[in-house]
Structure 1
């Protein structure tokens, strides 16, 4: 009986993980579709790499430089819509 419960718990955790990952991907796609700032962000990180040199830039450097600009480029309406979707997801899947 304990083995079955453990197996059920593991299966439930795996399903919940896949559900969360799937929802995260849906949110990313919605953001890409509504924002239209991908080209601007790509140009910005390319500029950072040129300034610092490929050999001297790290992923952490890029993240620190690009994240604030990316957040600023997303319109408030898009941010609010994504936040509503996240809240709805969390409400519907409160047992996760």
Structure 2
């Protein structure tokens, strides 16, 4: 856990965390992932009824499916950029 914290701290201090988040947002929009998630949310709300589901329940249902829908190319690109960032620092 300490290692994860120091990595995150390094990303925050360098400003890279925000840049990586923005890159991820852009790539997910470009590949249609955000649209897929919106449709999935609408489908779940329609099936269960807007009065019968909370935001937390919706998030719980969508999170695992959403992670699985992230294209491998997007994951790979982000991982390569993170690795490149840390290899430059060393």
TM tier relative to shorter chain: 0.5 to 0.7
The answer as to 2:27 corresponding to 1:27 is: no
Inter-CA distance 26–53: structure 2 relative to 1 (3 Å threshold): same
Structure 1 length as normaliser, TM-score?
Answer: 0.60
Largest Rg, 1 or 2: 1
Name structure 2 gaps, 5 residues minimum. Answer: 1-11
**Deviating 4+ runs (over 3 angstroms):** none
Q: Gaps spanning 5+ residues in structure 1: where?
A: 1-14
- Cα distance in 1 between the residues matched to 2:37 and 2:28: 13
Tell me the residue number matched to 1:11.
none
Residue of structure 1 in register with 2:62 after alignment: 66
In the TM superposition, what whole-angstrom CA distance separates every residue of 1:34-85 from its partner, at most 9, and x where no partner exists? x322222211100111222222322221222112222222222221112212
Provide the residue aligned with 1:49 in structure 2: 45
Number of aligned residues = 79
Offset from partner CA, 1:5-55 (integer Å, 9 cap, x none): xxxxxxxxxx828x233431232212322x322222211100111222222
Cα RMSD, aligned residues only: 2.8
C-alpha spacing 1:92/1:27, structure 2 compared with 1 (3 Å): farther
